[in-house]
Every structure is written in structure tokens, then in C-alpha cells.
């Protein structure tokens, strides 16, 4: 199993998105962060599941929300940014 590190900028993106979803509907931000957690768990188990999108940067798309995490695999998984699609 790989270790996952979420960089501060990505954490901020996730926090802002969760707040945005909560403003749209109460509890939706929690569902969003649960979807993030599930994807991070999957990346811990198999970070090579996604194809490279930009040279050595992979992207993980959430299952429910239109959101993508950009990450690099180098003995651990480093999530450097997250964004809406």
C-alpha cells in the first residue's frame, strides 16, 4: 500500500469545493469529501490505475462529482492539485 500526501494547495481546493457544495445543498459537502476519501483509498491501493495525463502526472476523477485530482507516483502518491472539471 502506498502512502498518500495531499499538498496544502490541493487541501485548500478540496475545502473550497466542499464549502461550495454545502452552500448548494446542506450535507452535499460531506458527500463530496466522502467521495474524495474513497478515491484516496483507491489510490493508496493502486495508484497506477489512471493513465498519465501530462508527462508523469496522473489524474483521478471522482465517481460522483465533477472533480479531478492531479497526482504523481514516486514511492508515494503526492496529490498536488485538485480542480473542477
The per-residue pLDDT string of the chain (85 residues; one tens digit each, 9 = 90 and over) reads 899 999 999 999 999 999 999 999 999 999 999 999 999 999 999 999 988 998 999 999 999 999 999 999 988 898 887 666 5
Number of domains, the chain? 1
Contact between residue 80 and residue 12 where contact means Cβ atoms under 8 Å apart: no
CATH number assigned to the domain comprising residue 46: 3.30.2310.20
Cell numbers for 56: 508523469
Q: What is the pTM of this model?
A: 0.87
Q: What 3-state DSSP class applies to 64?
A: coil
Angle subtended at Cα 26 by Cα 21 and Cα 29, rounded to the nearest 5 degrees:
35
Range of the domain at 39: 4-84
Amino acid at each position: 500500500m502506498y502512502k498518500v500526501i495531499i499538498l496544502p494547495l490541493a487541501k485548500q481546493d478540496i475545502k473550497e469545493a466542499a464549502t461550495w457544495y454545502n452552500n448548494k445543498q446542506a450535507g452535499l459537502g460531506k458527500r463530496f469529501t466522502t467521495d474524495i476519501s474513497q478515491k484516496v483509498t483507491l489510490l493508496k491501493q493502486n495508484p497506477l490505475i489512471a493513465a498519465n495525463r501530462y508527462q508523469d502526472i496522473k489524474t483521478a476523477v471522482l465517481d460522483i462529482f465533477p472533480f479531478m485530482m492531479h497526482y504523481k507516483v514516486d514511492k508515494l502518491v503526492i496529490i498536488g492539485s485538485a480542480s473542477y472539471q
